[in-house]
Structure 1
Amino acid sequence: MFVQTVALKDVKCYAFHGFYPEEQLTGNHFLTTIEVTFSPSTETEDLQKTVNYEVLNSIILAEMKATQKLLETVVKNMMDKVLNAYPFVLTASVGIRKLHPPMLGEVGHSFVELSYTKP
């Protein structure tokens, strides 16, 4: 069996996610990655039989605009949309890195990821 991967990695957005009110006012830079695997169709030129990474990008952009307190909520919302759009995926992962989160010390990024494996 062949397994195909389609992914968008490190889609950079400026968004206003954060638990603290200040974070929702000042915003921050985020990098989002979505990666899915599936059994490829023999019809390799049919966009309806694959995962369209333009759709993945639109999911990322829409959810990054919808301010949430927790990145856990954002990745879950993205995952739900990916699985709804592409029920044939075998695995999926959605990860968000918050660049230089506002905390003591020099923190490069915080990271939240959600993974799915088809039962």
Structure 2
Amino acid sequence: MGIIRVTNINVYAYHGCLVEESKIGSEYRVDVAVKADLQPSAVSDNLQETVDYVHVNRIVKEEMAIRSALLEHVAKRILDRIFKEIVIAEEATVEVSKINPPIGGNVEMVTIEMTQKR
């Protein structure tokens, strides 16, 4: 068992419940960790037998481009695609952070974290 992490994926997107958020957008940070059996790829040196982090990055960027009211909804879509498209994934954790959220205070970011197992 091993973990592939893709950390600090920066995306500009338009998520949120406020009308303004759908118009002006915001900066987001996404972190993904995928647990899988990495022994076969460690032996074979074959990209087809591991978690391709380029693929993980593409999933994140494509799902972040689809507007949602809640970050939980975006994270769930990312998790669903990971398990659909990366067959060796056994568990995945996704953190979606909104940078400088419009919550009436000086807050660096808000983060939701979701974990799913196959």
TM-score (norm 2): 0.92
> Aligned letter for 1:49?
E
User: Hey, what's the Cα distance between the residues in 2 that align with 1:102 and 1:33?
Assistant: 21
Other structure's SS at 2:3 match: strand
> Aligned letter for 1:61?
K
Q: Is the 8 A contact 2:33 2:92 kept in 1?
A: yes
Deviation at 1:89, TM superposition (A): 1.9
User: Hey, what's the Cα distance between the residues in 2 that align with 1:15 and 1:89?
Assistant: 26
Name which of 21, 38, 41 aligns with 2:36.
38
Q: Who is 1:106 aligned against? A: 106
Deviation at 1:87, TM superposition (A): 3.0
- 5 Å matches for 1:40-119? 40-44=38-42, 45-118=45-118
Structure 2 gaps of 5+ residues are none
User: Hey, what's the Cα distance between the residues in 2 that align with 1:92 and 1:73?
Assistant: 15
Structure (1/2) with the larger helix percentage = 2
User: Hey, what's the Cα distance between the residues in 2 that align with 1:55 and 1:71?
Assistant: 21
Deviation at 1:117, TM superposition (A): 2.8
Identity of aligned residues (%): 27
Q: Is the 8 A contact 2:35 2:90 kept in 1?
A: yes
With 51-60 and 39-48 compared, the bigger mean Cα shift is at 39-48
Matched residue pairs, number? 116
Deviation at 1:64, TM superposition (A): 1.1
User: Hey, what's the Cα distance between the residues in 2 that align with 1:59 and 1:42?
Assistant: 23
Other structure's SS at 1:67 match: coil
- 5 Å matches for 1:4-19? 4-19=2-17
Structure 1 gaps of 5+ residues are none
1:37-74 C-alpha deviation (Å, 9 max, x unpaired): 11123343111110000000100110111111111110
User: Hey, what's the Cα distance between the residues in 2 that align with 1:62 and 1:51?
Assistant: 18
